[in-house]
Amino acid sequence: MSNQSLKHLSDQHILPTYGRFPIAFVRGEGCRLWDADGKEYIDFTSGIGVTSIGHAHPAWVAAIADQAAKLAHVSNLYYTEPGAKLAQRLCALADGMRGVFFSNSGAEANEGLIKVARKYSRDKYGEGRATIITLEGSFHGRTISTLAATGQEKFHQHFFPFTPGFKHVAPGDLAALEAQGDDVCALMLEPIQGEGGVMPLDADYVRAAAEICMKSDWLLLMDEVQTGIGRTGKWFGYQHFNILPDALSFAKGIAGGLPLGGFMVGEKLATTLGPGDHATTYGGNPICAAAALAVLDVVEDALPQVTEMGEYIRTQIQAMNASCIAQIRGRGLMIGAKIQGHAPGEINAKLLEAGLAALTAGTDILRILPPLTIEKKDIDAGLKIMHNVLSTYFAK
Ligand SMILES: *Cc1c(COP(=O)(O)O)cnc(C)c1O
C-alpha cells in the first residue's frame, strides 16, 4: 500500500485525535526510516524518545523473538526472570532505589507516583495532605489525573472534572514553594521539560527545591519518562543535579519501542505499597522486560557518546547561523532549537519533505531526539538536510 492509501484507510477508521503527516512508515534500520512509497529518511525523533537504540537493533530483535518463543505473558500473579532481572538492574542504575513497579506507559507510571506519594502522606499524617505541586510548562500525561498534574492550561479543557489536588508553580520560583501550606505531600518535576519546550531546570533551583522537600517531608518525585534511560547523557536526568529523588518514573526509551514504563521508589517509600494496593495486567510482561534488558546493554555502551554527540549537534546547528534559530538548548541527545519568525511546525514539515524526521515542542521549539546510538555520519546527513532546508526556505 502507498502512503496515500494508508492515510486514506487510517482516516476512515482511526479517530482523528492526532495531527499527522501524510506519510506511513513501513521499515526502519538504525537511524533510517523508509515510507510506503520507498522514500528514505533520517530519524531524529526516535518515535518521540522511544526507539533509543535505533530501529531493528539485532540484539533487541533477538531478545524479543527468543522471549516470545518461550513465554510472552503469565500475569503478575507469578514471577518471571526478565522482570526480576530488569528490576534489579534499574534499581542499581538509579543509585540503589529500593523497588520498581512496572506499567505500560508514561502516564500510567506517573499515576503510580501520585498514588504512592498520597498513600505515604495519608499513612503518616492522615487526611488533608494530598496536594502535589508541579511546574508551569510541565507535561505528565493524558489520563485525567496526569492531565491535572500537567502545568499547561491548554490541557485543562473539555474533560471536567479533573482530579483535584494539584497546584502549579513557576519553574525557578523558590518563594512560591516556600509559601505553600500544610496540604502538600509532594513536588513532581521533569529534569528537562520535554513537551513543554525542552526547558532544562536550573540546577540550583532543583537542589534548593530538594532541600525544601526534605525540610517539609514532601516527597520529591522525578518524571523521567522522557529524560530517563540515557537520553540526557546520564542514566537519569536527576543525576545531573547531585540529588536523590524519593521516587521517579520512566517509560519512553526503556524498551526500545515496546510499551513499558514504571516507577521506582527509594528508602522512604519502600514499604508504602503492599499486596493489592496497585496493579496492572501487562506491567513488566516478559517480552517487554527482555527487550528492556537488551536496550540497557546497548545504552550502557552508547552512554559516553550521548553527551559528546549532543554537544556536536548543538554546535553544528549553532554554526548554521540560521536567522530563524534564536537559541539552542537541551542536554545530551534531548535538543531544542527555539524558532523565531516562523512556526516550528512549518519548518518540521519541510524537513520531513526533504528526508529528515524531527519534532516540535511547546509553541516555538524544534525538537530533536535522535537514537542514542546514532553515528556521526547519520548526524551529518541529518544536519545537512536541516542546513539546506533552513537556508532555502527560512533564511529570513
Ligand atoms: C511522554 C511523557 C509522558 C506520557 O507518557 P505516555 O507514555 O505517552 O503516557 C509523561 N511525562 C513525560 C515527561 C513525557 O515526556
- Return the ligand 1 atom nearest residue 194 CA: 15
pLDDT at residue 395 in the model = 87
> Residue whose CA is closest, atom 6 of ligand 1?
106
- Return the ligand 1 atom nearest residue 251 CA: 7
| Torsion sign, CA atoms 311, 317, 323, 328 | negative
- Report angle CA 327, 333, 337 to the nearest 5 degrees: 20
- Return the ligand 1 atom nearest residue 146 CA: 10
Q: Exposure string (b/e) for 329-363, b if CB count within 10 Å is 16 or more?
A: bbbbbbbbbbbeebebeebbebbbebbbbbbbbbe
Strands 184-189 vs 131-135: parallel, antiparallel or unpaired: parallel
The strands making up 334-339's β-sheet, listed across from edge to edge, are 325-331, 334-339, 365-368, 359-361
> Residue whose CA is closest, atom 8 of ligand 1?
106
- Return the ligand 1 atom nearest residue 261 CA: 7
pLDDT at residue 347 in the model = 98
DSSP of 112-145: HHHHHHHHHHHHHH-SS--EEEEEBT----SSHH
Given a cut of 50, the residues of the chain with pLDDT beneath it are none
- Return the ligand 1 atom nearest residue 107 CA: 9
**Centre of ligand 1 from the C-alpha of residue 252, in Å:** 7
**Centre of ligand 1 from the C-alpha of residue 319, in Å:** 32
**Centre of ligand 1 from the C-alpha of residue 105, in Å:** 7
Q: What are phi and psi for residue 356, nearest 5 degrees?
A: -125, 120
Asked if 35 contacts 41 with a C-beta cutoff of 8 angstroms, the reply is yes
Which residues lie below 8 Å from residue 141, measured CB to CB, with a gap of 6+?
105, 106, 107, 108, 110, 111, 147, 149, 150, 225
- Measured distance CA(337)–CA(19) in Å, rounded: 21
pLDDT at residue 396 in the model = 73
Q: What is the pLDDT of residues 68-79, one digit of tens each?
A: 999 999 999 999
Residues facing residue 339 across a β-bridge: 325
Cell of residue 341, nine digits: 519568525
DSSP of 64-120: HHHHHHH-S---TTS--HHHHHHHHHHHHHTTT--EEEEESSHHHHHHHHHHHHHHH
- Return the ligand 1 atom nearest residue 105 CA: 7
Strands 32-35 vs 40-43: parallel, antiparallel or unpaired: antiparallel
Instruction: State the pTM of this model.
Output: 0.98
- 3-state secondary structure (DSSP) of residue 331: strand
**Centre of ligand 1 from the C-alpha of residue 48, in Å:** 10
> Residue whose CA is closest, atom 11 of ligand 1?
140
DSSP 8-state symbol, 314: H
**Centre of ligand 1 from the C-alpha of residue 79, in Å:** 27
CB under 6 Å to ligand 1: residues? 105-107, 110, 139-141, 190, 194-195, 223, 225-226, 251-252
Exposed/middle/buried for residue 95 (C-beta within 10 Å: 0-12, 13-18, 19+): middle
